[in-house]
Structure 1
Amino acid sequence: MKQYLLAVQFDESVPETEEETRAQMARTGRVTEEIRAAGAWVFTGGLQPSHATTVVRPANGTTTMTDGPFAETKEQLGGFWVIRCEDLDQALAWADKCALACGRPIEVRPFHDGAED
């Protein structure tokens, strides 16, 4: 079994009503429960908006800290699932359900397991 990150890409420039947010949370909650029931769930989390971000950058043996996201882009990481699957096809099937539930793009990325690819 491999672990996969299902990363929700969130466009902060598109406002969402409270009603839309509640409906989206209900749909993603149902998918999360389905993932749990299937034994594929490892961890999930929603993130605060990118303005709450602090970036710590190393340079010349020291670090600097700046407010705001790492990259200036309209799409930010909005939340994620970490799941355990037999293969990429199974992870993509879960990502399909997650994308439909939250109405946002999902980036699927396998965790590095130390094996040679």
Structure 2
Amino acid sequence: MAKTVVLDFDGVIHSYTSGWQGIDSIPDPPVDGIKEAIGNIRKHYKVVVVSTRCFQEGGLEAVREWLDKHDIFVDEVLAYKPPAIVYVDDRALTFDGDAKGLLHKIKTFRTWQNK
């Protein structure tokens, strides 16, 4: 079985430039180049998309429909993060072993859309 790469939906695939509009309202285009990047990643890994949208009724279907609309092909869409070799998320910090600096990193964190 291929190793898994997990991509968050909002802010990684869906550009999310309009911010939260509701569970099944996904108004923005894909992040530039993400369709091609996912295609290349899938040549080597299983690609799973996760989203907190999928925890609520209609969310899973909305994400799948949006991906289909934009011809973005992934292996699976889930409401939870499965085991993976890496997680790609616009709201994540990479822990570098410096616990003392963690609070500062949290307080100063900005997504790519807000830099």
Given the two structures, how large is their TM-score scaled by the length of structure 1?
0.30
Find the structure with the greater CA-based Rg: 1
Determine which structure has the larger strand proportion and give its number.
1
Q: Higher relative contact order at CA 8 Å, sep ≥6: structure 1 or structure 2?
A: 1
Given the two structures, how large is their TM-score scaled by the length of structure 2?
0.31
